[in-house]
Every structure is written in C-alpha cells, then in structure tokens.
Amino acid sequence: MIGICPVHEEKNGILRNLYSGQYNYIPYGGWIFKKEYEFYKFPLRFNQLFAGFNFPVNNNLKLKGKNRKFQTLVIDLSLDYENYYLNYNRNTKRNIVKAINSNISLVINNDIDFFFPFYRISCENKGLKEMGKTLLIDLMNSLKNIKIDILWAIRNNVSLAFLALVYDKDYCLTWLTYNLPGFESFGQGHFLHTEAIKHSILKGCKYFDLCYIEKERLPNICEFKRGFSKNEVEVPLIIQKPLSYKVINRIKRCF
C-alpha cells in the first residue's frame, strides 16, 4: 500500500468533492497499490475536487503544489515485540496488565454479520455515516492485495471493543476501532492495540500506523496513541482541483 484514494463523493451545489473517507479526514477509503501513482494526473471533471493521502513511510506518490500536512504515529516493526513494549509509557503498560488480570482475551472474527451491529453503534455514537454492509463484505472478500482482520477484546464471552486492521506485506493501518459503551474500563483499548502490533509483526508487516492524530481537536486520543509510540511523522493530504472548480467555488462565495 502506498496511499489512500477517494471512494466517497460529497455534493456541494454543482460542485463535487471526492474524499478518501468520512470527515474529518479519517481514511475509510480505498487503497492504492501501484509502486508509483501520479495523483496530479487523476482524471477530474470540471466540477470535482480530489483529496487523498500518501502513507508517510512511502515516497511513491508523485505530488505537485502545496499539500496540507497531517500527523500520525508510525512504529518500525523491524525489532522484536519486547523492544516496543519497553518504549510504551507507564499508563499503557498499566492498562495492558490490567486487561490481562481482568481475563480479557483476544479473538479474531472477520464475520461481517457479527461485526456490523457493533460497527453501526460506533457510527451512531461518533456521529458518522456508516458504510453499507455490502461494501464491507466486498472489502473483506474481493481485495487481493490486502487483508482485513477484525480483532475483538472479549471478557466472559462478551465483546468489549473491536479494532479492524488493514494490511499488506509492508504496511499495517489501524482502520476502525471502538470501545463499546456501557462497560467498565478493563484496559481493553490498550490491550487491543498492543495485540494489533503483535498481529502485524506476525503477518510480516514492516510498519504499523496508529492512524492520524490531532493534538488540538482530539487530545485524549492523541495521548492514548502516544503511549505506544512517539515517532510522529507527516501525512501529506493531496488536494487536486481544476481551474473550473476554483472559479465556480469563488462565484458561489459571492452569493
């Protein structure tokens, strides 16, 4: 994987904005696998804007012009897991131990019929539009280049949290994750993320991406993720729009 491409279209009057996912900039979109991809040659209609991401450890997306920068945390998986664990902060280690002492166990269950009701709850609570069940099934069954695994934190046969990973032979991305409401905190979120790192190592991935941080808007999530890694890197957001789009957009602002 070298980047994330748009799969969602948002209407804005006559204008059409193509995004890689559900705002704000969360990569729920498609994935690009070519060794090189020229974003600036993406074919656009006169009224379309294109916004996609380059994965931070790859420089294979050919970019032009100014691009907005976001931040993520990436773990280089060239070492054994024990080396990463030593670099976790104190709170992360404490919650992992708490989860183990609370008999939290890991289950990998990719059954979309089982997953979808939990996913729907997460979208409702986050105020996001859900992806259709058919799309999720297609993603699970039709992709040849990548694999999707859904990790579950289970206690007393009850699902407490899930984390969906997208990965290929090089790169593992945290995609969908949620602690289900109504349960006491047993450290299940920290437990799932550390198990996800172990899983990506077992699958031979070279990098693990904790998927986007925003220090000002989402400070608690940022601090949670920094408990696993402080290797902060830039994620280029690539925006392409033809001159006609810019003209229409400027005219719209005058009314």
Domain boundaries, given as residue ranges, for the chain: 3-71+235-253, 79-205
Burial of 254 (0-12, 13-18, 19+ CB in 10 A): exposed
Q: Does domain 79-205 have CATH number 3.40.630.30?
A: yes
Rounded to whole angstroms, the Cα distance separating 151 from 154 reads 10
pLDDT digits 0-9 by tens, 7-33? 667 788 899 888 765 444 444 456 655
* pLDDT value, residue 25: 41
Rounded to whole angstroms, the Cα distance separating 230 from 226 reads 5
Instruction: Kindly give the residue spans of alpha helices, DSSP state H, lying in the chain.
Output: 81-87, 90-101, 112-126, 133-142, 188-202, 219-226, 243-253
Strands 48-54 and 232-240, bridge-based pairing: antiparallel
Full-prediction pTM beyond 0.85?
no
**For range 84-104, the mean pLDDT:** 95
- Bigger pLDDT: 81 or 6? 81
Tell me: pLDDT of 38 over 70.
no
- Bigger pLDDT: 199 or 44? 199
Instruction: Out of 86-100, 130-144, 169-183, give the one with best mean pLDDT.
Output: 86-100
Dihedral through CA 166, CA 229, CA 35, CA 65, nearest 10? 110
**For range 114-143, the mean pLDDT:** 84
Instruction: Out of 72-81, 98-107, 169-178, give the one with best mean pLDDT.
Output: 98-107
The number of angstroms, rounded, from the C-alpha of 231 to the middle of its chain's C-alpha atoms is: 17
What are the residues facing 75 on neighbouring strands? 208
- Bigger pLDDT: 93 or 35? 93
Split at pLDDT 50, 70, 90, the class of 200 is very high
Percent of the chain with pLDDT over 90: 41
**Residue recorded with tokens 């166990």:** 105
Closest of 31, 40, 44, 50 to residue 165, by C-alpha: 31
What are the residues facing 68 on neighbouring strands? 237
